[in-house]
Amino acid sequence: MEVRLDDKAALVTGAGRGIGRAIAKALATCGAHVVLAARTKRQIDAVAAQIASAGGKATPVVADVSDEQSVARLFDEVRRLGRLDVLVNNAGIGRYGPLKDFSAEDFDGVVGTNLRGTFLCCREAMGIMVPQKSGYIINISSVVGLKGYPDQAAYTASKHGVVGLTKSLAVEAQEHGIRVSVIMPGGVDTDLVGDARPDLDRSELLKGEDIAQTVLYLLSLSDRAAVDQIYIRRRAAKPF
């Protein structure tokens, strides 16, 4: 699909690897200046170098989305670009185990990154996008935002929360000309999925590029269209 984002600014969290890296590279290929956020400097520096070598523009920023002050500093860098047209909240972590043995510390860590981090970035983005009267926020949830799996209570709760946050913000933001969508991938070939579901055949999983194409699909729609949520599953999996 043809999507041009020349003179546009985008922010992708969790951009150092996996889905986030694929999305960031796709947005840069379409002409956007992409701010790359992640906790690991080495990873986002490598992605920024790949984008630059392909003729694109990227700014790597080390950030922990679960930390309010870190998010504030991240958006200080975003404001240097003068605008924000696309925010993709992709940063996420997973910790797994039976609920009866799960620590409150691990629960707080998962929810802090996956849900609180999405909230903090959405809030900061709205502060930029509302005066612009434009922008698109795309939150990456998961199939576990729709259903549950054993030993994934914290991760599932966080991703259900992302879906709920998105639904509310989509209604709140529309009067300002801002669209908000959530993508719920099922089974993407990432390290996180490998840890959570070692039983899966990784050759049958979706790739990060499939999710990047879904982001571009959303951005290709006319201003008349609003998509609340997309569930994209691997073809080998049965729908539920």
Active-site residue numbers? Answer: 155
CB atoms within 10 A of CB 186: 19
Long-range contacts for 80-83 (Cβ within 8 Å, ≥24 apart)? Answer: 81/9, 81/33, 81/35, 82/9, 83/8, 83/9, 83/128, 83/132
Token digits of residue 200: 């899966």
Chain mean position to CA 229:
13
- In a 10 Å sphere around its CB, with 0-12 CB exposed, 13-18 middle and 19+ buried, how is residue 101 labelled? exposed
How far is the first Cα of the chain from the last one, in angstroms, to the nearest whole number? 29
Please, how many CA atoms are within 13 Å of residue 136, restricted to the half-sphere of its CB? 24
- In a 10 Å sphere around its CB, with 0-12 CB exposed, 13-18 middle and 19+ buried, how is residue 183 labelled? buried
